[in-house]
Chains A and B, each alone.
Chain A
């Protein structure tokens, strides 16, 4: 699960293609918004121009892909942490700060071998306590400890 993966030219080309696609979307939508005239530029002129430039730069960046060789990275922690953040967002209103933070820390512990489930639960409680003192009591943020469960 925590093994290192070689990330090389193909992945970098995929990212350059992603940028190219973003440029194409910007140019396409810019055209649809309306380019206007030189003395009365439309809302689409800048997105269109920037999209075309981004497509060109992405193509040039693709030519540089793989120039520095492949790198080794662990992707598993990232893949476990992001769902944790998304779950925190989905749970903060219905379940509240404690529950959402507990799920976040448990997701993190799945990717971090030095944090077992019990330690993750304790860490979540500590973070929730800190969050309660700093954000709820200190800054009066509109966050509940137990959400809609209260």
Chain B
């Protein structure tokens, strides 16, 4: 009952007019960037971080979280209409969503993905409410070795599970860890990699780095690519979007399975909504009696991945808020944002700042309801957003990046840092190096180092301290598995391919 009492107190925070307005702004902006292919949620979140300095911390987090899950709702629009995922998490929706659009069922596809997304989000929030308090209580028993092991698992899993080469993913994670070393060493006070710049003594500015990698880098790579196909000229009326009874019935169980899978996968370190969506899609295809329909416009192929990616987005908050360890880059950024606002995410958050925790959780529900109410009636507007000419859109984004980065410290040095990271991010996208592990490594780097050094300091240099508890042993073994498994699987698939000629 105390959970319900806490949740009710959270709604008192989330239903104030300021929180409602901010949540509305966040989900609208999230849907906007989600609809637009190529502009990810992280770019928008990093753009808005400086704005949160002028808000209450809980309102700032409601805004950033709203952008994150709003983007998942919006991302399916371009997947269905253009066959281009708005965010990587909506790539699975392209497989059956676009064939549905080609058959003249785009409206029905958009209706089904919106309801599935809402359902997935609600299931994951209930799981968050149920499991967050006991998990936080369990995490209170963690010491430095456990924190080091859990963070290592998050880093390794996120790097090797990212799309493409695991070697490149790991390289980017290590690069991020090195960027995280820049600044003053907290233990000895020594300056590291500051290159003589006073501006770097506090480390690389998080906003400059994120906006460079995810904002400038994405704009540059979009500019370098060929034109996207033209979107449809008009939206759909609600009547045109209603699915048939058969379509509605076929999408219920896939949405339930996708929600549960997404909630489970999202709470694991290093996974994220893309993996959740693809696993949900593969599961539906595997258990279907007519798997040959998949890829030709099967409603199960859009309901399951959309429920899964939204569920995983909400579930990703479980480790971030309860243990203080983010599972992916967006959560790492949220963690960074909390630290900037003076909030210490972790097991103490629920008991020490219950208004913050439960207010944020309640805002997830508010945000999901807002998204449900906004997405379908405003589908015409979201379709028109796809028509914004890039000669207007990209200068606007770059302008917002410039002002946003400059506003943090009123220092142009940060803009030069953002440009440097923009170039690196552009090169990464050209050569298919995943960008997200860099940010994860950068944020977790100082924490990993601190807990590693603290463990060895307390144990007087005895490495057995790292395997002194079941939690740390489990995480270290899983890290090893995450490190070894992808190359082995790759080797196996190469051998199989060679054997097939």
Contact = CB atoms under 8 A, between A and B. Distances in A.
Contacts of B415: 85-86, 88-89
Given A54-B178, A73-B430, A82-B419, A143 B192 contact: no
Interface string B67-89: 00000000000000000000000
A73 B225 contact: yes
Given A47-B181, A64-B165, A92 B192 contact: no
A18 to B, nearest CB: 8
Nearest to B441: A50
B178 A114 contact: no
A133 interface: no
Q: 10 closest Cβ contacts across the A-B interface?
A: A38-B461, A39-B461, A89-B415, A57-B171, A77-B223, A43-B185, A73-B224, A115-B391, A43-B190, A89-B412
A85 B185 CA distance: 31
Contacts of A123: 391-392, 395
A23 B175 CA distance: 8
B426 interface: yes
Interface in B137-189: 165, 167-168, 170-171, 174-175, 177-178, 181, 185, 187-188
A19 B395 CA distance: 30
Contacts of A42: 188
Interface string A41-85: 111101100110110011011001100100101110110011011
How many A residues are at the interface, by size bracket?
35 or more
Given A39-B460, A58-B171, A143-B406, A101 B399 contact: yes
Interface in B372-423: 389-392, 394-396, 398-399, 401-403, 406-407, 410, 412, 415-416, 418-419, 422-423
A81 B402 contact: no
A119 B218 CA distance: 24
Contacts, number: 176
A111 B461 contact: no
A54 B171 contact: yes
Nearest to B389: A114
Q: Which among B51, B193, B403, B407 has the greatest number of chain A C-beta atoms within 10 A?
A: B403
Interface stretch (B237-245, B329-337, B343-351, B449-457): B449-457
B219 interface: yes
Q: Which among B223, B410, B423, B463 has the greatest number of chain A C-beta atoms within 10 A?
A: B223
Contact of B394 (A75, A108, A119): A108
